[in-house]
Amino acid sequence: MQSTPNLDQFIPNSLTRLAYQSFQESKKVFGFTHKLISDRLTNTVIPEQQSKSQPLSPEIFAKLQVQLKALEEKDWQDAQAGVYPNSLLFDNPWSDFFRYYPEVWLDMFKIWERLEKKDYQKFDAAIDKTGYPDYYLQNFHYQTDGYLSDMSANLYDLQVEILFNGAADAMRRRILAPLKRGLQEFSHLPSRQLKVLDVACGTGRTLRMIRGTLPKVSLFGTDLSPAYLRKANQLLSEISGELPQLLQANAENLPYLDNYFHGLSSVFLFHELPASARQNVIDEAFRVLQPGGVFVICDSMQAADSPDFQVMMNNFPAIFHEPYYRHYTTDNLEERLRSAGFVDVQVENHFVSKYWTAYKPKQQ
Ligand SMILES: C[S@@+](CC[C@H](N)C(=O)[O-])C[C@H]1O[C@@H](n2cnc3c(N)ncnc32)[C@H](O)[C@@H]1O
């Protein structure tokens, strides 16, 4: 078992800050360069792809840089405030990076084939597709085999980091402060008795961060993809602390008792769901949470609070396969949370993400 070194004890804070800024900067340059080259190649092979999106104006680009800097500052400040240790700022799947980065390029040939054929529901014949909701059987982001192969799970974290220019983890970490705050309601209980579920945990990145933040709580993760759960199991078993319990389950129908969890999180799920499924997931979250429990959602920004970035919200579903995204950007999740019974719904935005924190009312 590999434990994360406690950087805070040995290195002056100014150096750690410089290292964090350099780390983020290098991920940004890497992601930007990768996308520049891969977009040019794609536009050469499939010229009509270029006309699907609008270029970002220099003003929007500058605003985006300001938002990204603000996200990084918040990430740093939350670590300094003790929400999580500095070491979490540097957590990165390095071995997967070196092992699978070449595969990201090789996968482009398959992506181009699907793009040319406009075939966005293509799965390897060996993949068993029974039992999944129809809306799920998609090549989201043109991923080969959607979420249903081991190779897709191996490439996913890398692809997301590239997509967000290295800011994906900093955006995920924004759920940690509200989650930790919400769990204070149960501070009379020993940490081990607290149960936290990450819904649609994917490869377990968020669970890894929750483990770093709340080392003792009992962690759970569910996802529809057996391949992503296998990957999560592998990545989570590398870190210290108890292994989270992972279960394959549709988030619309969670296999847990009523009032079971003290905290729930869900990251980057809702934009991949049709509207009715979004409501079902929120209703399920309400059911499995204990009274006083907290639910924190992280997903894409929406049209109403980020009008400057509307062009990006138009481009995203046009250049990636994201069939439910457009509706998501105008969906009122606050209203959905309230209609499920949640109270004290708070909303915040960081970079290109939006966060909802909601509570199940305490028992009277
Ligand atoms: C964009 S990924 C996000 C994964 C992870 N939370 C993260 O932060 O990277 C969406 C995840 O949601 C899962 N998913 C989509 N629809 C689902 C559903 N109805 N029930 C459970 N998981 C679902 C997918 O398998 C995938 O792992």
As for how many domains the chain has, the answer is 1
Pocket test for ligand 1, best of 272, 283, 353 (most atoms within 8 A of CB): 272
Could you tell me if residue 245 is inside a domain? yes
Closest residue CA from atom 27 of ligand 1: 202
What pTM was estimated for this model as a whole?
Answer: 0.94
Q: Which residues form the domain of 354?
A: 168-359
Query: What is the Cα–Cα distance from 340 to 171, expressed in whole angstroms?
Result: 26
DSSP per-residue letters across 280-332: HHHHHHHHHEEEEEEEEEEEE--TTT-GGGHHHHHHHHHHTT-TTHHHHTT--
Atom of ligand 1 nearest to the CA of 157: 9
Could you tell me if residue 308 is inside a domain? yes
Atom of ligand 1 nearest to the CA of 298: 8
Could you tell me if residue 344 is inside a domain? yes
Give the model confidence (pLDDT) of 52-97 as tens digits. Answer: 778 888 998 899 999 999 999 999 999 999 999 999 999 998 889 9
pLDDT for position 10 = 66
Q: What's the CATH number where 233 sits?
A: 3.40.50.150
The answer, yes or no, to whether any atom of ligand 1 lies below 6 A from the CB of 169, is: no
Lowest mean pLDDT among 83-97, 169-183, 308-322, 338-352: 308-322
Could you tell me if residue 200 is inside a domain? yes
Lowest mean pLDDT among 17-26, 183-192, 315-324: 315-324
Could you tell me if residue 224 is inside a domain? yes
Mean pLDDT of 254-273: 98
Give the model confidence (pLDDT) of 197-230 as tens digits. Answer: 999 999 999 999 999 999 999 999 999 999 999 9
pLDDT for position 308 = 85
Q: How confident is the model at residue 7 (pLDDT cuts 50, 70, 90)?
A: low
pLDDT for position 2 = 47
Query: What is the Cα–Cα distance from 202 to 157, expressed in whole angstroms?
Result: 9
Give the model confidence (pLDDT) of 323-364 as tens digits. Answer: 899 999 999 999 999 999 999 999 999 999 999 999 999 986
Could you tell me if residue 45 is inside a domain? no
Could you tell me if residue 203 is inside a domain? yes
Q: Kindly tell me if the per-residue pLDDT of 269 is higher than 60.
A: yes
Q: How far does the centroid of ligand 1 lie from the alpha carbon of residue 202, in Å?
A: 5
Length of the chain: 364
The answer, yes or no, to whether any atom of ligand 1 lies below 6 A from the CB of 168, is: no
Q: How confident is the model at residue 125 (pLDDT cuts 50, 70, 90)?
A: confident
The answer, yes or no, to whether any atom of ligand 1 lies below 6 A from the CB of 300, is: no
Could you tell me if residue 152 is inside a domain? no
Where helices occur in the chain by DSSP H, the ranges are 13-45, 58-80, 94-117, 150-163, 168-172, 176-183, 205-213, 226-236, 275-288, 310-319, 325-328, 333-340
Whole-angstrom distance between the N-terminal and C-terminal Cα of the chain?
A: 44
